[in-house]
């Protein structure tokens, strides 16, 4: 869990004297790192009584083809590249912008699976 309160530094780099401690409403949640495995989802409550679906594990992506304009479900084989963190490649963690290898070919993830509960991707030219 992370603290997501105000920084102790100014924009200029100077130090701010914070006049209060940390508050419970300022803490974050655990990271929802989506890995490649049989599908497992988790529903959680957010502010205002809304709900968010976290995709903890997923092995199927909805892949769209820009040439034909159609979309098909495809099985995910592995993560080829992930600019968010190079260690995510060997751990097979899927984030937005990750390049995944599917049955249809390599595709780039266009959404945030840990926020939306599904993996959407677009085929990329090789």
Q: Summarize pLDDT for 64-74 with one digit per residue, the tens.
A: 999 999 999 99
CA 102 – CA 61 distance, rounded (Å): 8
- Tens of pLDDT, residue by residue over 59-105, are 999 999 999 999 999 999 999 999 999 999 999 999 999 999 999 99
In this structure, are residues 30 and 42 in contact, taking their beta carbons and an 8 Å threshold? no
74 three-class SS: strand
**Tell me: the pLDDT tens digits for 8-44?**
999 999 999 988 898 988 888 888 899 999 999 999 9
pTM: 0.81
């Amino acid at each position: 869990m992370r603290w997501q309160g105000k920084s102790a530094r100014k924009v200029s780099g100077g130090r701010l004297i914070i006049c209060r401690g940390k508050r419970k409403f300022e803490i974050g949640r655990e990271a929802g790192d989506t890995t490649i495995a049989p599908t497992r989802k988790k529903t959680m409550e957010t502010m205002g009584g809304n709900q968010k679906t976290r995709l903890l594990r997923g092995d199927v992506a909805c892949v769209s083809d820009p040439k034909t304009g159609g979309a098909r479900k495809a099985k995910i084989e592995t993560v080829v590249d992930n600019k968010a963190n190079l260690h995510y490649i060997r751990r097979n963690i899927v984030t937005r912008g990750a390049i995944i290898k599917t049955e249809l070919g390599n595709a780039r993830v266009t959404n945030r699976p840990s926020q939306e509960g599904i993996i959407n991707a677009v085929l990329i030219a090789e």
